[in-house]
A and B are shown apart, each in its own frame.
Chain A
Amino acid sequence: MSDLVFILGLLTICGFGLWTWRIDSVQRLDTPARLSIAFSSGMVTISAAMFLASVVHLAWSRSLFVILLALATLAAWPAISRRAGKWRPRLTDAGILVIALVLAYGVFTARLTCADLLFFWGPKAAHFQAVRGIDPAFLANPNYYLMHPDYPPLLPAVYAYAATLAQRMSWWGTLLLTPLSLLAGVASFRGLAAPKIGEAAAGRYALALAALMAMIAVGSSAAGGADPLIWLFTVIGVSALVFDESNGGRAIAVIALCGAAFTKVEGTALAAIIIAAYAVTTRRPKAAAALAIAPAILLGSWLTYAAHYRLLDSYARSGEPLHSDQLAPVLRQVAWSSSYRVWWLPWAVALLLILFISNWRRAAFPLAVSLGTFAATIYFYLHSADPAFWIRTSAERVLGATVLCLFLASAAAEELRIEN
C-alpha cells in the first residue's frame, strides 16, 4: 500500500509545476506536453521549497506538503481553467506508450537498477525523510564521503517528498521515475516540436526519441539514479530553445536548466554548455546570459549552504591537476565503455539520422551541446590519475545527454526542410 502512495506522491509533483501553465508557450502546448512540463517544473519547485524549508529549519511533513500543493494549484488556477492546445492521438503515440511499458517492465523486474540508487541517492532520501529535512551532519559523516555530500538535493528531495507522503521509502517506487522521465521528455519534445515541424514529423521523431531513451536507460542501467532526470531536462531545455524562439520558450528552457543544475555536477556542466552553445550559435549573448540567472541563483544558494556546513567537494576541485597525457587512453576507454552493451547502437542511430540533415545551421545548437557534453565528460575524466573504473561504471550514463543531443540535431533540422 505504501508503495502505491509513494507512486501517487510522485505523480502529485505535477501540481507543484502547474504555475508554468501561465507561460504562453506552455499554454499553447497539448495536454500531455503541458503535464510533462508541469511534472518537470514540479520537481524543481518542490525540491527548491524543501531546501528552503531546511534552511529555515522548518520540518518536512505531510501537512506542509499538502498546504504547499494547495497553494501551488491555487496560484495556477486561472491558467488551469484555460483550454490546452489541440491533441489528436496518433499511431506513434501508441508506439511511445508501448515503449514506456516495455521500459517499465524492465524497471519492475529489476533489470536496469542503478547502483547509485542504493549507494547514495536512496540513502540520502531515506535519511532526509526520517529526520524531516536535509541533514548536514549526515552529509558530513566521513563514512559517507562517497555519497557526494555537495551534490544538490533535487533527486533526494523528490524521493523524500513521496516517502513523506507514504511514511516510508519505497525502493520500487523510486524506479518508476525512469519511465516517467521518458514519457515526460518525449511528450514535451513532441509538443514543442509539433508547431514547427508538423504533428506527423514530431510524432515520428518522438517515437524514435522514446526508443532511444529506453535503450540508453537499459544499456546504462540508469533506473533510480539521477541520469534519467538529466536526460529529461536536456530534452526539454534543448527542444524549447530550438523550437520556440519566444520568451516563453526561453522560460521553459530556464526551468529545465535549473533542474539540471540542481541535480548533480554533470547537470551543472550541462546547463553551462547549453547556455554557451546558445550564445555562440545564435549570437545572442544577452539572451544567453539571461538564461543563466535563475540556475545560478538556485545552485549558488545550495553551494553557499554546502560551504557553510563544509560539505564542498565535487564543486571545489578546480585546483586539481589535469592529466592531459592521459587523453588518448581516456578516449579509448570511453569509446570502449559506451557501447550500451548493444554494439554502440544508440550512437549509430543518432549518427545515421544526422546523415539526413540538409540545413546545418538549425542543427548547429544541439550539435554544439552534444560536442560540449562529450568534451566536458572527457575533461572530468582527465582529472583522475586512474579513471578506468570510473569510466567503466559511468560513461554510458553521462554520455546519454550527448547521444540525445545528436538525435535532437536531426529533429531540429527538420524544421527548415519543411519551411523551404
Chain B
Amino acid sequence: MPRDLPAGMPALLAVHLRLMSSLRSRAAIGAIYAASSILVASVVYRYHVTGGLYVERPASVMDHSGPDRVAIRDALVLMDRVAPLIPRRATVTCFRPKDGDPWPDTGLLLTAAGRFARQSVLDSSSARRVTPCPEVAEYVVAIAEPFTNPCYAEVARYPEGALYRRR
C-alpha cells in the first residue's frame, strides 16, 4: 500500500498510477539506452561513409571533409610545405591558375591568410600579367596548375603545385 496516498484517492487507483509510473520510468530508461546506442552506431556509420584512411594520419585537417576535399587538401598540403620558404613580411598570393594566369578564389585567399600569418597575403590580382613586374606580389603559391607570368621564376615544385618568386 502506498504510504503517501493523496487524501480521498482510492487505494486501487493509487496502486494503478504507481504501476503506470513505474512502467513509464522503465520505458524511459530503456529509450535512453537505446537512443544512445543508435546514435553511437550512427556516428560509426558516418565514419564509414566518409571512407579511409582509418589508421594512417591524414595529410591535412580537411582530408575527409566536404565535397571539394581533394582540392582543399592539395592547397593545405602545399601551403604548409612552402610556408617555411617564404620570408617574414614578404607579400604572397595563392590561387589555382587558369590558362597560366591568376584566378580569384576567396576560399583560398582566406585559407592563405591563416597559413601565411607571418607574411602579407594579397589577393590574386596582385600577380596579373598587366601589372608591372616590380609591383607584383613577391611570392605566388600556385595550386596544381602551372603559372606562366614571366615576372616570376619557379622556386620549388611539389605534386600539389609550385612556389614562384618575383624575378
A interface vs B, CB < 8 Å?
Answer: 95, 98-99, 102-103, 105-106, 108-115, 117-120, 122-123, 125-127, 129-130, 143-144, 146-147, 169, 171-172, 175, 204-205, 207-208, 210-212, 214-215, 218-219, 221, 224, 341-342, 345-346, 349, 352-353, 356, 358, 410, 417
* A102 near B113: Cβ-Cβ < 8 Å: no
Give the Cβ gap from B152 to chain A, nearest Cβ, in Å: 21
The 5 A-B pairs with the shortest beta carbon distances in the complex, nearest first, are A123-B114, A211-B39, A126-B117, A356-B28, A110-B63
- B42 adjacent to A110 (CB under 8 Å): no
Given A99-B40, A218-B47, output 5 extra A-B contacts at Cβ < 8 Å.
A113-B61, A211-B35, A221-B66, A353-B28, A356-B31
| Least Cβ–Cβ distance between A159 and chain B, in angstroms | 10
| With known contacts A204-B33, A221-B66, A352-B35, A117–B40 Cβ distance under 8 A | no
Q: Is B60 an interface residue (CB 8 A)?
A: yes
* Cβ B110 vs Cβ A208 within 8 A: no
> Given the complex of chains A and B, what is the CA–CA distance between A103 and B107 in angstroms?
27
Complex interface bits, B120-149 against A, C-beta within 8 A gives 1, otherwise 0? 011100000000000000000000000000
Query: How far apart sit A103 and B49, CA to CA, in the bound complex (Å)?
Result: 15
From B44, B62, B76, A102 is in contact (CB under 8 Å) with B44
Chain A residues positioned under 8 Å from B40 (CB to CB): 98-99, 102, 211, 214-215
B66's closest neighbor in chain A, by CB? A115
Is B81 part of the binding interface, using a Cβ–Cβ cutoff of 8 Å?
no
B53's contact among A98, A109, A125, by CB below 8 Å, is which?
A109
A-B contact count (CB 8 A): 149
Query: Once bound together, how far apart are the Cα atoms of A117 and B50, in whole Å?
Result: 19
Contacts A143-B123, A211-B35, A211-B39; A341 near B110 (Cβ below 8 A)? no
- Chain A: CB-nearest residue to B122: A143
Query: Hey, what's the 0/1 contact readout for B93-120 against A, CB within 8 Å counting as 1?
Result: 0000000000000110111011101100
Question: Do residues B39 and A129 form an inter-chain contact, with CB atoms below 8 A?
Answer: no
What separation, in Å, do the CA atoms of A215 and B57 have in the docked complex? Answer: 22
A-B contact pairs, 14 of them (CB 8 A): A95-B36, A106-B47, A109-B47, A109-B58, A110-B65, A113-B62, A118-B62, A118-B72, A118-B111, A119-B111, A211-B37, A342-B45, A352-B35, A417-B25
Q: How many residues of B are counted as interface, with CB atoms below 8 angstroms from the partner's CB atoms?
A: 49
B35, A208: Cβ atoms closer than 8 Å: yes
Is the CB–CB distance between A175 and B44 below 8 Å? no
B21 x A417 contact (CB < 8 A): yes
Complex interface: chain A residues within 8 A of B31 (CB): 352-353, 356
Instruction: Given A118-B111, A211-B39, A352-B35, verify A113-B29 contact (CB < 8 Å).
Output: no
Residue of chain A at shortest CB distance from B60: A110
CB neighbours of B25 from chain A (8 A):
417
**Nearest Cβ on chain A to B113's Cβ, whole angstroms:** 4
- Contact indicator B64/A212 (Cβ below 8 Å): no
Q: Is the CB of B61 within 8 A of A123?
A: no
Query: Contacts A214-B40, A353-B28 known; A221 to B110 CB distance under 8 Å?
Result: no
Query: Judging by beta carbons under 8 Å apart, are A219 and B46 in contact?
Result: yes
Q: Tell me, in angstroms, the Cα distance from A204 to B107 when the chains sit together.
A: 42
CA distance A210 to B32 in the complex (A): 12
User: Are B114's CB and A118's CB within 8 A?
Assistant: yes
Q: Nearest CB to that of B46 among chain A residues?
A: A218
Q: How far is the CA of A253 from the CA of B110 in the complex (A)?
A: 35
Q: 1/0 per residue B56-90: CB within 8 Å of A?
A: 01101111111000001000100000000000000
